[in-house]
Amino acid sequence: SSSLAAEGSTTHVARARELLQELRVFEAALELEKAQEVDPELRESIELQLQTLSEALGGLADHPGLEKQTTAGSSRSFPNEFMGVSVPSTPASARSAAGSRSNTSRKRDVLDIEFELEEKGASVEIRIEFYPDGKVSADWIVRDLPIPLHYILCMVNEIDLLGEVAPYIANAEVLKEFPTNKADRLIRVVSKPPIPFVTGLEAVAQRFGFDLLDTEWGAFALAELGPEWSKAKDANNAQESWRGFARPPPYQRGLKEVQVERVVALGYPTGPSGEKTTAMGSAKGDLNVPRSLLPDSILHWLVKMIARIIYSRAIEKMQQFEGTEFGKRLRNSSFYARLQQRCRDYSRGELNPSKAVNESSSAGSIAGAASVSGKASL
């Protein structure tokens, strides 16, 4: 009986790793909770992803585009707590949690920008807010991009190719890819936008990706947070690190360090077969650039120009995708093939919520037999 329980526990752990590779952290957490013996490193990785996702989705609770967004296909019912971590598994639960926040009476410094990326085509709405402590946030939504979501996921994830799509990128790189999945990465982006008296901006962030298509969110999610660099326990070692990775030196002197507090984006496949994408997101951090250097007129011009450049370059890449480096990486990756299939199934309403349950049930069948015998409880 004990050997059956141990074998069942091992099966649950293996299935949790599998689900995490597929970006399905909710299901991975539920699977791991069934295991009697858990790899501490795996538990820590899942908990970090759950905590990051919780902060990210909570940051979307007040997003003006969330209530207008409808999702397709079917969805499973998930709890709002996994492994002791509270995570809003539905937009309604995120809004409910946000309802308890206290509203401030301060005068708000808000800038709203709306424009079309092309005539009678995809449109953008963005709200930028500046805070008294120097931080800035942005909520945005782009509707009906004529680009399939799996292409966008590839272009976003292949961060070292960011300069092929976005302007003013001096350097973009993966500092470390962690073994949980292809989207678990520590990244650095150095940009040099035309802001007066600012040499450039350097941002280092921990990035995760999540497949939430089976949930009521009905989307793929990207979430970023600023790494909390910790010092070594050895007093003689001043090196700081994040998840065992040593903090890199600045890219170059004179750059403003962007302190990333939260970045989240949701991508929804739209259209009969997922040929279009609607995306919304929210970001908050400290640019370390005074508000006086960012007048509304410059922000209006800069946001529209950057968005339209990204859009035109992305359309150009899509039209010849197979011949680009993006296309090469997508073709040679089982990771992207799986994401593409998920998007296709979702758009056709063919995601089967019971499939994941059945997979988990079959994976735990050995442990279940042991449990019935009264010798194990999983």
Would you say residue 194 has pLDDT above 60? yes
Q: 220 near 269, Cβ under 8 Å?
A: no
pLDDT in tens, 204-262: 999 999 999 999 999 999 999 999 999 877 767 778 999 999 999 999 999 999 999 99
Q: Which residue has the tokens 């409808």?
A: 70
Q: How far is CA 349 from CA 92, 151, 194, 292, in A?
A: 22, 20, 45, 49
Percent of the chain clearing pLDDT 90 (strictly above)? 72
pLDDT at position 62 is 85
Which of 24 and 239 is assigned the larger pLDDT? 24
Q: 278 near 147, Cβ under 8 Å?
A: no
The mean per-residue pLDDT over the stretch 170-185 comes to: 97
User: d(Cα 167, Cα 286) in Å, to the nearest integer?
Assistant: 21
pLDDT at position 358 is 38
pLDDT in tens, 111-158: 999 999 988 788 999 999 999 999 999 999 999 899 999 999 999 999
The whole-chain average pLDDT of the chain stands at: 87
Inter-axis angle of helices 2-21 and 365-372, nearest 10: 150
The mean per-residue pLDDT over the stretch 319-340 comes to: 96
pTM exceeds 0.85, yes or no: yes
